[in-house]
Structure 1
Amino acid sequence: MDLIDVREIRVPNARDGLVFAPGERPLGGGTWLFSEPQPGLTGLVDLTALGWDPIRRTEAGLEIAATCTIAELAALTPRESRDPRPGQAADALFWQCAGSLLASFKIWNVATVGGNVALALPAGPMTSLAASLDAVAVIWTADGGERRTPVAELVTGVRSTGLTHGEVLRSLEIPESSLAARTGFRRIALSPLGRAGTVVIGRVDSSGETVITVTGGTTRPHQLRFDEIPGERALADAVDGIDDWYSDAHGTPDWRRAMSLLFAEQLRGELEAT
């Protein structure tokens, strides 16, 4: 779609060019930005010339640049891990969550990880991935500084985040402990190519800590944390404590709650058995 109010597109190649005037927004892949009218948008600041490495391994874990594409991220999952298996390693989640975007290869090669998180749609699969693995968002602030916040807390509601005007999501940092964890994945939609009704991801770290993350069917990510794999009742009570089930044409709150409860229990049993 033509954005007829945009008067300028800037392409900085260094951080000092990331100064945003009123009406300007950062541009990554632009797959959503160019899909519908953007009232009040008068300028774009293209991040893709900043030269960020898409994916970087560090001693602490994995650093994923905000400009990393869905295709680059999905390639982190080895081919032999792309078929669902009980209690598989966390690297399978890159492929599983990327597949939840349900977009063509053309979109996969343009859409960015950071753009998907910053857009903060309930069905954002990169939010599901990042929240489930305790990813931390590295944010460049308007004053030239930097701050960090868990992705599970960065997304605060539908199209709502903790980002303020002038801030840029620089990268997502996933700790090594999450990458080494055993995981399980569940997703459902009302149609084969439909928007996710709910996404539930289970994770068990080497310490035994268990994290069940519910997204897609809620307005924001929910992490249910336990010191060990919980019992059926404890898990059900935790899921019942979620109070912001989303409602739209892709699912009712009651259905989303019921399916999330079913998936959480399936994952509990699956992870307990492996």
Structure 2
Amino acid sequence: MDLNTVTEIRDARHPEPWRAGDAWLGGGTYLFSEPQPQLRRLVDLSRTGWVPARVLDDGSLEIAATCTIAQLSRFGQAFDARSAPLFEQCCRAFLASFKIWNMATVGGNLCNALPAGPMISLTAALDGVCLLLAQDGTPRRVPVTDFVTGAGRKDLAEGELLRSVTLPGRALGSRTAFRQASLYGLGRSGVLVIGTLDPRDRSVAVTVTASTVRPVRLRFPLPPSAADLSAAITSAVAEDEWFDDIHGLPRWRRHMTLRLAEEIRTELGEDGGR
């Protein structure tokens, strides 16, 4: 879609004062998908040259906001970590065309803060932390679970930039289990649940997305019982936090979340944490 109110595209490598009507341009798959009458200028991030994904000296993984879904998929396929299968599973949860895969970015998916955003699911489940940069360059770090605060809402100030998301090495070494449900064979995620099991201490974390307006991450020092897991989810998600749209009613989302979470609990307990 043409954005006929935009009069200028600026290169993000050459900073200028932020002004009303500005917007960051990553892949543009959202910006150009519907009218944006409030926009006057786009600040293009495509030439920043940020490395899409790189392993840091401490074993953590830094994913640039400009990393595309296709780049992350290729990285995950070659990544030597126990959690590596989760990257492809979440990339496939987009159910998008190759055009979207090659343009849509990890940062854009996070900043749109849609409940069904699978990059939110991936990074929240692996203890991701967002690096945010203010206009004066001041950095701020926020866990993904706190960055997305509701459906379409995020902790991002005017002009602030999501630079990257870092996943800690310990989380990358976790065993993972993935479940997704949709009302349609090729529909948007109505429920997406990810479980992780830490091989060091057998602690378990269960992350609920798509069915809730914000990512919900529950931690257990030891694998929980079925009753404990169900009670924890029910307690953590308020009645008005179950998402309600054409892709699923709250009652169905709640039911499927509990069902898939129990499947994950069973799967992670099958090998005793080996």
The two structures have a TM-score, normalised by structure 1, of 0.94
Of residues 124, 128, 148 in structure 2, which corresponds to 1:135?
128
Of residues 34, 41, 51 in structure 1, which corresponds to 2:49?
51
Which sits farther off after the overlay, 135-144 or 196-205?
135-144
CA separation of 1:80 and 1:66: change in aligned 2, threshold 3 A: closer
Q: Tell me which residue corresponds to 1:218.
A: 212
Q: Tell me which residue corresponds to 2:229.
A: 235
Q: 1:3: how far off?
A: 0.7
Counterpart residue identity of residue 82, structure 2: A
Is the contact between residue 197 and residue 256 of structure 1 (CA under 8 Å) also seen in structure 2?
yes
Q: Tell me which residue corresponds to 1:24.
A: 22
Measure, in 2, the Cα distance between the counterparts of 1:98 and 1:147.
27
Q: Tell me which residue corresponds to 2:182.
A: 189
Q: 1:18: how far off?
A: 5.9
Measure, in 1, the Cα distance between the counterparts of 2:7 and 2:24.
14
Q: What secondary structure is seen at the aligned counterpart in 1 of 2:47?
A: helix
Over the residues paired in the alignment, what is the CA RMSD in angstroms?
1.5
Counterpart residue identity of residue 118, structure 1: C
Q: Does 1:246 align with 2:239?
A: no
Measure, in 2, the Cα distance between the counterparts of 1:186 and 1:66.
25
Is the contact between residue 53 and residue 75 of structure 2 (CA under 8 Å) also seen in structure 1?
no
Is the contact between residue 109 and residue 120 of structure 2 (CA under 8 Å) also seen in structure 1?
yes
Is the contact between residue 13 and residue 51 of structure 1 (CA under 8 Å) also seen in structure 2?
no
Is the contact between residue 181 and residue 191 of structure 2 (CA under 8 Å) also seen in structure 1?
yes
1:56-95 paired onto structure 2 within 5 Å: 56-60=54-58, 61-78=60-77, 89-95=82-88
Q: 1:80: how far off?
A: 11
Q: 1:226: how far off?
A: 0.7
Measure, in 2, the Cα distance between the counterparts of 1:39 and 1:120.
20
Q: Tell me which residue corresponds to 1:179.
A: 172
Q: Tell me which residue corresponds to 1:84.
A: none
Q: Tell me which residue corresponds to 1:9.
A: 9
Q: What secondary structure is seen at the aligned counterpart in 2 of 1:50?
A: coil
Counterpart residue identity of residue 9, structure 1: I
CA separation of 1:18 and 1:210: change in aligned 2, threshold 3 A: farther
Q: 1:12: how far off?
A: 2.7
Deviation by residue 1:46-78 (Cα, 9 ceiling, x = unmatched): 011111111111123100000000001111233
CA separation of 1:76 and 1:272: change in aligned 2, threshold 3 A: same
Counterpart residue identity of residue 273, structure 1: E
